[in-house]
Amino acid sequence: MPGPGGARQLAYKSIIPSRLESTPRAFGPKFQNLAETMNNINRKLQDCDFLDGELLSMQTCAVRFMPQHCGLDPDRMFWMAENPEDVHICYFFRLFFLREAQCNRSSKLSL
């Protein structure tokens, strides 16, 4: 629903690939591949509760993380690590949308 004066709110949602398994420390955790992640996003876009507005664009982002110390937080884009070998990088998607009252189920992303 438009805000005061007819303005709509810009919002985003971060989509991190599902973590599949833990692998030896030297290799870091294993995540879904790009095609699986896109299929999951497209399934979620069919649900009006997933995005409460109109999809505008998608951005690919990278986030550094240390599996043994913290989870993946897509809003924490950098920090200092004592041992750089323990730092892993995960790529995720950020969907930008305009909040509004009606749902558009026709949104679909492709590779």
List strand residue ranges (DSSP E) for 16-87, in order: 19-21, 30-31, 53-65
Mind listing the pLDDT tens digit for each residue in 45-98?
Answer: 888 778 888 889 999 988 877 766 556 677 766 656 666 666 778 888 999 999
- Across 25-33, average pLDDT: 73
Q: Find all residues with CB under 8 Å of 80, minimum gap 6, and list them.
A: none
Lookup: tokens for 99 = 């909040």
Lookup: tokens for 83 = 């041992």
pTM, to two decimals = 0.68
* Domain locations in the chain as residue ranges: 4-99
